[in-house]
Amino acid sequence: MSILDWSFVILLSGTLLFSLFGCLLFIGFLRTSRKWKRLKRKQPPKKKKKRRQFLRACKQLEKKRKGQRRRSLIVLVFAGLFLASGMYSRYYQQNHLQAEDADALVQSYYLLDDAALQITNIQNGDNPKKSSNNLHEITSQLASYGARKANLTLTEDGQKLLNRHFTLLRELGVNLNGQSAESLQQVGKAEEYLADIVKVQESQSTVFKRFNVNEGALKKKQ
């Protein structure tokens, strides 16, 4: 389990415990209040000693009642804070990428640009053999990243979007990896794969927007 998984479990457990304790305190407050009201409705005894005992009992019940009310409210407020924190933790987990998925997206972001560059180099006759070897290495990594599956903690639509992108990465990596330098020197074939890369990059931009990945920051690191 990840840190966010543990935090959600701990916060939810805390919510249940605080809620239970708060409810018990509130029930105690209601019982004390009933006793205090019944006592307040009675006429104070006429004898001085008994009257003093009566008033002391009323005061003690009132003090106990106020203390129970205050403690129950404090505990229930903590329960609410734990619940809100737990819900935010779950929301964050469902709408933000796990470290492994984020790393796969970032690395494939650079690999796609590198793949397009190697295809262009082959097409231009710029050391085709070396460019082809570089391309095979790049596409092997793309296929590897594309073999991933989105983390199950994401929302259903987030999983579908990310898995669709990983599928495009895998298919592009596998298909390009099987191409020789000679086939990519054909203008039509090279343009076909460059168009495929653009298609995957468009999918990539959609994923970045969905999960709030700062594409501008990635461009600056190129």
Cα–Cα distance, 191 to 114 (Å, whole number): 15
Q: Which domain holds residue 53?
A: 3-95
User: Does one domain contain both 131 and 213?
Assistant: yes
User: Does one domain contain both 139 and 171?
Assistant: yes
CA dihedral 46, 50, 54, 60 (to 10 degrees): 150
Q: Write out pLDDT tens, residues 191-206.
A: 999 999 999 999 999 9
Q: What is the DSSP letter of 116?
A: H
One-letter amino acid for residue 156 of the chain: E
Average of pLDDT values for 8-35?
85
User: Does one domain contain both 136 and 183?
Assistant: yes
Q: Where is the domain boundary, 95, 112, 128?
A: 95
HSE-up (13 A, CA, CB side) for residue 197: 25
Q: Where is the domain boundary, 37, 70, 95?
A: 95
Say what the pLDDT of residue 58 is: 79
User: Does one domain contain both 164 and 75?
Assistant: no
Question: In Å, how far are 120, 166, 175 from 117, measured between CA atoms?
Answer: 5, 21, 17
User: Does one domain contain both 20 and 125?
Assistant: no
**C-beta atoms surrounding 21 within 10 Å:** 16
Cα–Cα distance, 198 to 76 (Å, whole number): 54
Q: Write out pLDDT tens, residues 62-101.
A: 888 888 889 989 998 998 898 888 888 888 888 888 888 8
User: Does one domain contain both 88 and 132?
Assistant: no
Token pair for 188? 């039509």
Q: What is the DSSP letter of 43?
A: P
Count of structural domains, the chain: 2
- Which residue's entry shows tokens 């701990």? 10
Q: What's the predicted TM-score (pTM) here?
A: 0.73
User: Does one domain contain both 209 and 107?
Assistant: yes
